[in-house]
Amino acid sequence: MEIIQTIAGLLEAVRRNKPIVHHITNYVTVNDCANIALAVGASPIMADELEEMNDIVSIASALVINIGTLNRRTIESMVAAGKRANERGIPVVLDPVGAGASGLRNAAVERLLSEVKIGVLRGNLSEIRFAAGLESLTKGVDASEADLARNEETAQQVAERAATKLGCIVALTGAIDVISDGKRTLHIHNGVPQLSGVTGTGCMCSTLIGAFCGAKQEGDLLLAAAAGVAAMGIAGELAAEAAEGKGSGSFHIAIIDAVSRMDSELLASRAVIEAAAL
């Protein structure tokens, strides 16, 4: 499949170009995000001080904004970094962790979406529904059972509506991941249930998306997002095999091991991606 071969080639581009991925992320998973960036071949910077946003973004290849542990100080840094990234034409990945859970969090997401041109929005079903202005019932940082049980719209329809409305790539991650720009939509069938039992796998996925987006300045962000999501899903599969019978701690470490050892051939051989019917 041509899409899979292109995505595999993006991994080679990441390792060759070593994109600098600037993160403004949460303190729960900042170490995981830095390590997964290094594992895939990128160079992470974890900086959130407003006074250095202009300098840091000026040397970055991509910006990843994650609102997991939000505060008013970092909101200003996120907006400033996003605007500088837009000026430079580098991709911005937004991970709206827990969108819908609080007034401050909701206002921050709305401000970022209105003041910053987002390249890729990655989140679960509840987070994407909220960001798109659709009715959403959040469950902390996880997709709520109520949203998952809705039958008026499929995950694909939600992703496509959100992408069209927001003018960005939407990576809606779940049991089956949906990547869409509103016109083109991909389904990714990689991953294991254990990924939802370890803190930070969503954040690490956003980091991988940032690395793939930053590998080529004028690349196709839809395919870059798909590459990041597929790589995370495959890493979960490999980690589950390596840590079988050992527990969640071993599984956690095995995810980073799997990404560090992944090459384009492995990615191509294990990726299960299909283009949705128009």
Nearest to 156 by CA among 132, 172, 138, 144: 172
pLDDT at 39: 98
pLDDT at 151: 55
pLDDT along the chain (278 residues), means of 10: 91 96 97 98 98 98 97 97 98 95 94 98 95 70 47 84 97 97 97 95 98 85 97 98 94 98 97 87
Q: Are 93 and 214 in contact (CB under 8 A)?
A: no
pLDDT at 245: 87
Helix axes 30-40, 2-17, angle to 10 degrees: 100
Burial 84-118 (b: 16+ CB within 10 A, else e): bbbeeebbbbbbbbbbbbeeebbebbeebbeebeb
pLDDT at 136: 55
Q: Are 239 and 258 in contact (CB under 8 A)?
A: yes
> Annotation-wise, does 200 bind a ligand?
yes
- 131: its two tokens: 């960001």
pLDDT at 246: 94
Say which residue the tokens 């840590």 belong to. 243
Q: How far apart are the first and last CA of the chain?
A: 18
Check which CATH number belongs to the domain holding 219 and give it.
Answer: 3.40.1190.20
Nearest to 125 by CA among 107, 138, 112: 138
For residue 153, give its domain range.
Answer: 2-275
Integer Cα distance of 223 and 186 in angstroms? 9
Helix axes 248-261, 221-242, angle to 10 degrees: 130
Helix axes 30-40, 201-215, angle to 10 degrees: 40
Alpha helix (H) residue ranges in the chain: 2-17, 30-40, 53-58, 72-88, 103-115, 125-131, 145-149, 155-166, 201-215, 221-242, 248-261, 264-270
pLDDT at 158: 95
> Annotation-wise, does 111 bind a ligand?
no
Cα dihedral sign for 26, 235, 265, 7? negative
> Annotation-wise, does 73 bind a ligand?
no
pLDDT at 278: 60
DSSP state of 1: -
Number of domains in the chain: 1
Q: What is the pTM of this model?
A: 0.93
172 φ, ψ to 5°?
Answer: -95, 110
